[in-house]
Amino acid sequence: MRTTWDFTGARVLVAGAGGIGAVVAGGFAGAGAAVVVLDVDEGRAAQVTASAGPGSVKGLCADLTSADACRDAVDSAVRLLGGIDVFVHAVGVNDRRPVLDTPDEVWERITAVNLDSAFWLGRAVGGVMVAAGYGRIVYLSSVSGLLAHPDHAPYAATKGGVDQLMRVMAREWAACGVTVNAVAPGYTETDLTREYLAGPGVRASLEALVPAGRLGRPADLTGPVLFLASDAAAFVTGQVLYVDGGRTLV
């Protein structure tokens, strides 16, 4: 794919080495950036590092479900990169079941991974960027933050929370040269959705809800994320960009 954006010399931190995070990390590396990827799965982080080519992406293993671990991960990334110009939060888990069938531990795990890490990592990265007077933060949200999908209560709550967290960060840090935005995918084929999409009739039923007639792919998110991280989007902050094939139109 032809490179549209030039991130030569940019220092990029991506949280999440699966699916969308891996493709986005590769997109930044291909555009000239130095990239560090965080993931709880050391093997997955290493796979992203290997596929991106020698030297362009470094992987760090980190469990991002505690404040201390998030602070330590950001500190490690700063040491490796010499600073952070761009941060992408692409961490997310889901567990599809009705509200009345959702046990406490499922709610706690999803909120810890999806929302707590978004706050703790964003706060740590924001401190670095505000001090430097420059930064671009992009959160991976979801159409579930807007639409009321059944069997998605914890996931939808966390994505709605990410959207509002992003807006407050954008408001507080705008005068410091830091923009904060979110990209909200529609139904996208990733490790998070693969098993669900394999169910009888699931793929066809979801495709029928998308005006574009297909599900999203991780590569569909790369351009929007790189745009929001670029100087072309310097006056864009506090926005949710839906990348959903028109799903939110119907």
- Sign of CA pseudo-dihedral 249, 194, 241, 145: positive
Length of the chain: 250
- Sign of CA pseudo-dihedral 30, 78, 93, 183: negative
Question: Which residue is it, tokens 């009888």?
Answer: 200
- Sign of CA pseudo-dihedral 202, 22, 9, 176: positive
Closest to 89 in 3D by CA, of 143, 146, 166, 201: 166
**What is the SS3 assignment for 56?**
coil
Among residues 155, 187, 196, 242, which one is catalytic? 155
Q: Is position 155 annotated as part of the catalytic site?
A: yes
The residues near 99 (Cβ < 8 Å, ≥ 6 apart) are: 153
Task: Enter the tokens of residue 140.
Answer: 């991976």
Degrees to nearest 5, angle at CA 73 with 68 and 75: 95
CA distance 71 to 227: 27
The residues carrying an active-site annotation are 155
